[in-house]
Amino acid sequence: MNWYYHSRDPHYKTPFGAVKTNEQVSLRLDGEPSALVELLLYLPEGPKTVPMHWDGTAYRASFAAPGRPCRIGYGFRVDGRYFGAESGAAHFADTPLTYGLTVYDGAFDTPEWFRHAVVYQIFPDRFFCSDRERFLRAAADYRAAGRSIHVHGSWDEEPYYKPHGGAKEYVPDDYFGGDLNGIREKLPYLASLGVTCIYLNPIFAAHSNHRYNTADYLSIDPLLGTNDDFKALCSAAKARGIRIVLDGVFSHTGDDSVYFDRYGRYETHGACESKDSPYYPWYRFYEWPKTYECWWNFETLPDVEENEPSYTEFIQGENGVLKTWLRSGASGWRLDVADELPDSFIRGIRRSIKDQDPDAVLIGEVWDNCATKQGPEGRRGYVNGDELDAPMNYQFREPAIEFLNGRKDAFWFAETQNRLLEDYPKPFMDACLNLLGSHDTERTRTALTGIPDARTLTRKQQLAHHPDAAALARASKRLALGYALMAVLPGVPCIYYGDEAGMTGMSDPLNRGTFPWGREKTALTEQVRALMKLHNESDAILSGGIRIAAIGKQTVCVIRKSAKETLILLANAADTQVRAALFPGLFREGPDAVEPLDLAGTYIDENGEAIAARSVLSVTVPANGYRILRKS
């Protein structure tokens, strides 16, 4: 008899995936009745052996998860030989191979409104300018203070990407005039897309167009408007059922800031001017005031000491940055470079915002698997239940781009997503911010022309990339297919401004062009609009179970099923159409796999056509396209 175990098959492990503290875990291992079988647990306090008992059909054991959040390993020993694997089905080996198991705080939950949201990310300077004359006056004030600023003469110009104005290297000091009132004017458009949450890149006073070099955390950048303009935006958005999430840059400040004041522009004394400054303890000077610790060695971005009590109070305190902007109308925060913030600091941020508004959301920029990510002090606590509500889900984005470009097959893509379902607590998984592009990646339509990751290319190579019309047309199909996956998979869809309009561009700053008002790829926009409408209205997506499986080399099937509805997405990344056949035996993995899959019934596809099925469902899926079938 073959020995067999599969960590994602509910027949072998219950409950599926991550477990709550102290929760009972039951395991089954198929094998032969005469063997000596032991369950090996690798706990934070050390290894533990649990005998497994033959029940007449299989070996079984159960154990209680640890009483505090952690990540444990487990595997099996059969007659002295190790049997296990990192994920999926197991095999014998001479050394221990363990499965991973996430243990999280059983009281952890994420805001329901966010789990059901559609998010739209906006780079404020590039979305819409409401008042050109107001912007030019603000730019003149900026220049009068001795700061470099270049104002584009036309909204349709390309962002600067070469040194300009006599500078020896590129600096992000060119502006188009997008502002907060411009976003407010475009709320009807965002609402038409099904957007229920706006994530804004930094909006606080700073001296670059990206504003990740904060100058004043408590003031809106004058180029964008005023503090009252922010309140007006939040109020108008709320009236349309849209919430606002802000970008918090708390690992560093700008050197030209009220806190550091490297150039002596402010009336108060910054850390670079006086050791008596209240801000001096925030920074790590090697030789004051000339040398100091910087973010990734950029002298314009001095690092802060997050656990310095006065800085912690400034950010997290009752009158601190977090609560001030929540009181002004924000509904949450996104933490820039969360993996560079201490866990204790993130826990403090969570306590602060939840104290102000229990429904506020906390998102972290984490590119890696949040359950297994390691830091200088060991495993990071993102999924423990006392830190993040969700990450920016690059663990969806990067596999999706590889799959849609045909560089990885459907089996690999399904494995990556099933792995997340297994590793992440369900409240965390359902809140993951699923994205295909952001201000830190090349534009999605450009990425889907088949180029390598832009991070592996020089600027010269990026500028030399000019896809032809056929490649761009195929990329548009792939983009819509990516949004279909995003709309149906667990998590929160996130649209990077202008991706739905067909914008292109390589990495920063070419991915930060202006929204092409009046020049949108309207067919693509309509597809995205329809998919977000589906996401917002489908009971199966919002509350149903999930199964993901490859049903061909380049075809993935996602099934969402609730008591009211079954929804099936067939996603074909091949350049030719395929005939996809579904049958119950394909779907053994996932939290919903404990119930037999019944495919019988009549489905309605995305075009309103009825499709009947018995035990097998067979449909044609277009090249670089999808089919969506729904059964009530």
* Residues marked as catalytic: 336, 365
Query: Distances from the Cα of 108 to the Cαs of 252, 385, 432, 495, 588, in angstroms?
Result: 29, 5, 15, 27, 28
Task: Kindly report the backbone phi and psi dihedral angles of residue 558, in degrees, each rounded to the nearest multiple of 5, phi listed first.
Answer: -120, 125
User: What residue type is 332 in one-letter code?
Assistant: G
Place of tokens 């609560």: 323
Q: How far apart are CA 214 and CA 445, in angstroms?
A: 31
Q: Rounded distance, CA 349 to CA 321, Å?
A: 10
- Contact status, residue 362 vs residue 413, Cβ threshold 8 Å: no
Distance separating alpha carbons of residues 379 and 71, to the nearest angstrom = 8
Other CB atoms closer than 10 Å to residue 118's CB: what's the count? 23
Q: How many whole angstroms separate alpha carbon 627 and alpha carbon 620?
A: 8
Distance between CA atoms of 364 and 390, rounded to whole angstroms? 6
User: What span, in angstroms and rounded, lies between the C-alpha atoms of 69 and 107?
Assistant: 11
Q: How far apart are CA 263 and CA 146, in angstroms?
A: 10
Ramachandran angles phi, psi of 37, nearest 5°: -120, 135
| Tokens 């380049």, located at residue | 554
Report which residue type is found at 520: E
Q: Do strands 285-287 and 361-364 pair parallel, antiparallel, or not at all (unpaired)?
A: unpaired
Q: Is the peptide bond before 66 cis (omega within 30 degrees of 0)?
A: no
Torsion angle of the four alpha carbons 548, 365, 361, 19, in this order, in degrees rounded to the nearest 10: 50
